[in-house]
Structure 1
C-alpha cells in the first residue's frame, strides 16, 4: 500500500472506531493529511487549515486504544493519533516486541 494511502487508512480506522466530540471534523481532515516527517513509529502529520476547519477536539490523544496484531493474533503494537489545535498532528506506533516496526500495519490488523 502506498505510504500516504496507508497513513490515511490507519487514521480513518482509528478515528472512526471511537465516539467523541469533534470526531466528524477529524474524519473530514483525513483526506487532506500529509506526512511531513518522522519514522514510522512517530509520523509528523499536517493538515492545511485552508482545506478544512479545525475539530472541536482541540488537542491531545484521540480517545480509545487500538492494538496491532500479527497474523497469529498476537499483539505487536499499539497506535495513537495526536491532535494539535484541532488538527491531526501525529500518528504514533508503539511496539511491544523486540522488532522495531518498519511499516504501518494493514487496517485488518487493527483492533480497538
Structure 2
C-alpha cells in the first residue's frame, strides 16, 4: 500500500496515515491475494473518496515479464481493498513483491 500511495493522487497523504490502522478482514476467495480491508478508528479520513483509486502497480517477475497489476479501493474515504489482477496461468497465493512493481497514476 505504501508504494502505491507514494505517488501524488487525491487523498494519498490521508490514505498513507491509514496504513498502520488497516487490517485484512476477508479474502476474495480461498488463498486469493486480493483482500478486503477495514481501517480502525484513529486515522484520517480522505474526504468521501470512494471506488478504485487512480493508481496502479504494474507487477513483473524476476525476468521482467508482466504478471499483473495491483490496485487499491476506498469506501467513504477509507482504504477498503487491495486487488491483484494477475495474468499468469497459475493463481498466485500472495501479492507481488513491491520491489518488482512500477507505480503509475
Cα deviation per residue 1:1-26 (whole Å; 9 max; x = unaligned)? Answer: xxxxxxxxxx111111x222211000
Q: Distance in 1 between matches of 2:85 and 2:33?
A: 6
The partner residue of 1:46 within 35, 38, 62 is 38
Contact kept in structure 2, 1:36 and 1:45, CA below 8 Å: yes
For 1:77 and 1:46, the matched residues in 2 are separated by 24
| 1:34 and 2:34 matched | no
The runs of 4+ residues in structure 1 deviating greater than 4 Å are none
Give aligned pairs, total: 100
TM-score (normalised: structure 2): 0.88
Q: TM-score, normalised by structure 1?
A: 0.82
The CA RMSD measured in Å over matched residues stands at 1.3
1:75 maps to: 66
Distance 1:28 1:53 in 2: 6
Q: Take 2:62 and 2:77, find their aligned partners in 1: how far apart are those partners? A: 35
Alignment partners' CA distance in 2, 1:52 and 1:30? 9
Which runs of 5 or more residues in structure 2 are unaligned? none
